[in-house]
């Protein structure tokens, strides 16, 4: 049974894929389907309850929450994919070098990984952000630069196993150089766990961005973000419950979708890992 057959037999994995693709489609179609300008202030519509006119209600400036949620989906996806892309590039590069060359190079890289893992990731991000201007670009870079360690260890473990296989020894005997062996022969066979880790990493990055925005050091207003909508909801919880409910549910469903998708990919790649 092939990968896709195993994947589509897993109903939870398919549900995760539908959720992910749904939010991805919403982020692309936002300029078309958004009913209002996300920054348009309407003093006559302040803190209106959800209705046919405003599906998710309005905030304390009369801005349409549904519109801001749609634009916030694009922000979350952008942060998630770019941050994971940065982490994956760093992790794959360092893991490949450490696993292939071994020895002192492996020792240095892995001790650096151990040092980075000693720091709680979220507090490390907070510390770095404190010295930078809070912007979406800095958020993406900081999350990516502080979340590559797990991928490094995964790739290193795969390389330690694969570099002793017959096909690698044969390529070495033919005189192939190390970069060619690493990137053309070993790395393609080591990418399966990286794909799973990257999928799960997007969920973690979305959650981290939302937390940073909630604390006021992430995406800055008036740029809409699920996290900064939640921040407003905290201060108006008694009179505007919708400002907390809808962004909170969006974060929950998105993270759940990526986790289900990642677990489904993992099980489809190697059914023996199914718990």
Q: Supply the mean pLDDT for the chain.
A: 88
Residue 61, both tokens: 């400036």
How many whole angstroms separate alpha carbon 8 and alpha carbon 4? Answer: 6
Q: Given this model, what pLDDT does residue 214 score?
A: 84
Task: Tokens for 38, please give them.
Answer: 């996300």
What is the tens place of the pLDDT at every residue in 228-243? 888 888 878 778 899 9
Q: Is the pLDDT of residue 109 over 90?
A: yes
pLDDT at 128 over 90: no
Type and span of the H or E element at 12: helix 11-33
Residue 275 pLDDT greater than 60, yes or no: no
More confident residue, 114 or 135: 114
Instruction: Supply φ then ψ for residue 101, to 5 degrees.
Output: -85, -35
The separation between CA 69 and the C-alpha centre of its own chain, rounded to angstroms, equals 18
To which residue do tokens 């979350």 refer?
76
For the chain, state the CA radius of gyration: 22
- The Cα–Cα gap between 43 and 66 comes to 17
- pLDDT surpasses 70 at 8: yes
* Averaged pLDDT, 22-40: 91
Helices (H) and strands (E) in the chain, counts: 12, 0
**DSSP string covering 250-269:** HHHHHHHHHHHHHHHHHHHH
**Average pLDDT for 162-188:** 88
With a pLDDT cut of 90, the percent of the chain lying above it is 44
Domain ranges of the chain: 3-35+54-273
Residue 161 has pLDDT above 80, yes or no: yes
216-273: pLDDT as tens digits? 888 888 888 898 888 888 878 778 899 989 999 999 999 999 999 999 998 888 755 5
* pLDDT tens digits along 56-91: 999 988 999 999 999 999 888 888 899 999 999 999
Instruction: Determine the Cα–Cα distance for residues 56 and 245; give it in Å rounded to an integer.
Output: 9
pLDDT given for residue 1 in this prediction:
60
Is residue 166 pLDDT above 60, yes or no?
yes
Give the contacts of 60 (CB within 8 A, at least 6 positions apart).
46, 47, 232, 236, 240
Residue with tokens 């006021």: 216
Q: Please give the CATH architecture assigned to the domain spanning 3-35+54-273.
A: Orthogonal Bundle (1.10)
Give the residue with greater pLDDT, 40 vs 135: 40
- Give me the pLDDT at residue 274, please: 54
Predicted local distance difference test score (pLDDT) of residue 113: 94
Please state, in angstroms and rounded to a whole number, the distance separating the CA atoms of residues 143 and 145.
6
């Amino acid at each position: 049974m092939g990968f896709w057959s195993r994947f589509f037999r897993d109903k939870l994995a398919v549900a995760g894929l539908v959720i992910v693709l749904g939010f991805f489609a919403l982020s692309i179609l936002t300029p078309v389907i958004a009913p209002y300008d996300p920054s348009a202030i309407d003093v006559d519509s302040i803190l209106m309850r959800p209705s046919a006119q405003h599906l998710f209600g309005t905030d304390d400036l009369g801005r349409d929450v549904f519109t801001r949620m749609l634009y916030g989906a694009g922000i979350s996806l952008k942060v998630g994919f770019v941050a994971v892309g940065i982490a994956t590039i760093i992790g794959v590069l360092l893991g490949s070098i450490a696993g292939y060359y071994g020895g002192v190079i492996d020792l240095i890289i892995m001790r650096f990984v151990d040092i980075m893992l000693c720091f709680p990731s979220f507090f490390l991000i907070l510390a770095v952000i404190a010295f930078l201007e809070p912007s979406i670009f800095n958020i993406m870079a900081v999350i990516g630069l502080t979340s590559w360690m797990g991928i490094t260890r995964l790739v290193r473990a795969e390389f330690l196993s694969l570099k002793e296989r017959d096909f690698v020894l044969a390529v070495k005997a033919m005189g192939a150089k190390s970069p060619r062996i690493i990137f053309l022969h070993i790395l393609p066979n080591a990418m399966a766990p990286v794909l799973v880790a990257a999928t799960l990493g997007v969920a973690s990055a979305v959650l981290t961005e939302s937390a940073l925005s909630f604390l006021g050091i992430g995406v800055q207003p008036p740029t809409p973000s699920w996290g900064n909508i939640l921040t407003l909801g905290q201060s108006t919880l008694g009179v505007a419950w919708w400002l907390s409910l809808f962004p909170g549910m969006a974060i929950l469903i998105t993270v759940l979708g990526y986790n289900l998708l990642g677990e489904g990919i993992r099980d489809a790649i190697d059914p023996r890992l199914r718990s």
